[in-house]
Chain A
Amino acid sequence: MADYNKPIPIPDPMTNGPYWEGAKQGKFMLPRCTSCNKVHFYPRIICPNCGSRSLEWIEATGEGYLHTFAVQHRAMGAWAEEAPFVTAYIDLKEGDRVFTVLRGVDPTKPEEIFKKIGALCRVEWDEANDAVSMPYWRLVG
């Protein structure tokens, strides 16, 4: 983990504790509303779909589909050394969406990635420090 040189978020233990605890064990955790049964992301203390505060955490499949992407040619800090790299929004199998840096794609060929919109992606984890493992998604479909 010593070689993780990218920005590391400060976990919010009040709202997102189970999310970051799960991440450390390689589990992709999502809040799910027990009133309307929908998951949501980013995690909140109230369901944005129905307004209920009856929420539970579930372990999600860690699979989803490429919704859209961009190739970043300009970045700051440690990310600048990686440019160009691909960022993407992933539609989760369980519902809602996450943002990530997408792996398994060639940033110099955006037209090829474009053809992969809708393809299957899977989460993987980089241990960043003792408290945080960072999810990255890989195009597998």
Chain B
Amino acid sequence: MANNPSKAAAIIAAGEADQIGYLETPKTDMMLGVEAIYNACREAGISTKDIEGIANPGGANAYAEYLGIVPKWVDTTAVGGCSFQIHLAHMLAGINAGMFDIGVIVNGQAGYSRRNFPRGGAGGGGGDPLGPDAQFVNPYGTTGAPSQYSHAMTRHMHEYGTTKEDFAEIAVNTRQWAMLNPRAVMHSKETNPNGGPITVDDVLNSRLISWPLNLLDVCLVTDHGGAVVVASAAAAKSFRKPPVWVAGAGEAIGHQTMLEMKDFTATSAVASSQRAYKMAGMGPEDMEMAMIYDSFTLTVGITIEMLGLTRRGEFPSLVKNGNTAPGGKFPMNTNGGGLSFNHSGMYGMQLLVESYRQLSGTAEDGIHGIAGKQTNANTCIVNGTGGTLSATGTVVLTRD
């Protein structure tokens, strides 16, 4: 690879909003995002005025203005929940090209509190009334992501003989990680009446949303603000925390509407991960943990296969027997995931925050005598999925 940008940049800090989850007092998207930027910059030991490059899906200009900065570099890529993995890929390229040294990727999203905002506030959907979804999909009563992703799960079960129980294992393992994260919505009965441990039967007996997806196969809808600070390799060495290197990064788009998803059991993560592995000079066998976008258990099952962590149709072999739960051989979604920690709408930001914390040794959220979630992984594959299994971004992170 000519001029391989591998490790030209590192994540040097991560931050979250002061409060996340189901906020009692609503905050705007901007408030949540700026709190996260401020907290990330404090952790890095820099001022928000030191930010030279800024990335956010659609709103980088608003953040720059709010912070009173005039960035040298900007990225507003907005391809759904994986936008942040793609921002990191672009930042790596921009830093490698010498365009800037310190950048921030940010998202603030009042996924839960939005319902309390005045009408006309941020909200997805709509789209072009003459577009393909408006003409040929939406009139048939589907209601967003769950009602579409379920079709892919049916097809996976048909082609590979996987079962609802196999997918439910993912939710069970992920809940166990949430029980180690006091900021997770479903940490315990204290944080939510439905929190605490769950079983496969609990998943199967939870309310049907869009068969074969039950409620506990589906992510939360919460408030979150997150930010990571990214620095050039030279700059990263001058900061207090050990750098988490961006060893590889790749992006890919398969389709927009699910009408155009040729193979319902495959996403563009196979392409984006191959690009990331190649840049890093590593393969799936070198990965010691994974942070995988869990909008639904189905998303995780397919993505495990796309990342080469198992062969096609064999994701159950990775998640069974608690293999991806705390204490298992392959830690996955160690913050408790979008399923049980926090999912504000575009969850890729949470993926970056947690993967940085794991590899920098700052994932220890344990309080009240609860054992923490810090693993000893040296490498992490991070994959985001956006739209309706549409776009993907994959990054390979490593530590020294």
CB-CB contacts of A32-69 with B at 8 A, as 1s and 0s?
Answer: 00000000011000000000000000000000000111
Cβ–Cβ contact A79 & B141, under 8 A: yes
Taking each of A72, A79, A88, A100, which has the highest tally of chain B beta carbons within 10 Å of its own beta carbon? A72
Size category of the binding interface on chain B: 35 or more
Cβ–Cβ contact A85 & B154, under 8 A: no
Cβ–Cβ contact A42 & B130, under 8 A: no
Query: Bound complex: CA of A134 vs CA of B136, how far in Å?
Result: 9
In the complex, A140 has a CB within 8 A of chain B: no
- With both beta carbons as reference points, the residue of chain B lying nearest to A20 in the complex is identified as B135
In the complex, A119 has a CB within 8 A of chain B: no
In whole Å, how far is B144's beta carbon from the nearest beta carbon of chain A?
10
CB-CB contacts of A3-14 with B at 8 A, as 1s and 0s?
Answer: 000111111100
Cβ–Cβ contact A6 & B141, under 8 A: yes
Interface of A is mostly: mixed
Cβ–Cβ contact B143 & A10, under 8 A: no
Q: B residues within 8 A CB of A117?
A: 154-155, 158
In whole Å, how far is A60's beta carbon from the nearest beta carbon of chain B?
14
Q: A residues within 8 A CB of B210?
A: 70-74
Query: Bound complex: CA of A85 vs CA of B147, how far in Å?
Result: 11
Cβ–Cβ contact A70 & B158, under 8 A: no
Query: Bound complex: CA of A10 vs CA of B129, how far in Å?
Result: 7
Q: A residues within 8 A CB of B139?
A: 6-9, 134
In the complex, B212 has a CB within 8 A of chain A: yes
Q: B residues within 8 A CB of A72?
A: 141-143, 147, 210
Cβ–Cβ contact A89 & B147, under 8 A: no
**What are 26 A-B pairs at a CB distance below 8 A?**
A7-B138, A8-B139, A9-B134, A10-B130, A11-B135, A42-B132, A42-B136, A42-B259, A42-B260, A67-B264, A68-B151, A68-B158, A70-B210, A72-B147, A74-B146, A76-B141, A85-B141, A87-B142, A87-B147, A89-B259, A97-B259, A99-B258, A99-B259, A114-B157, A114-B158, A134-B139
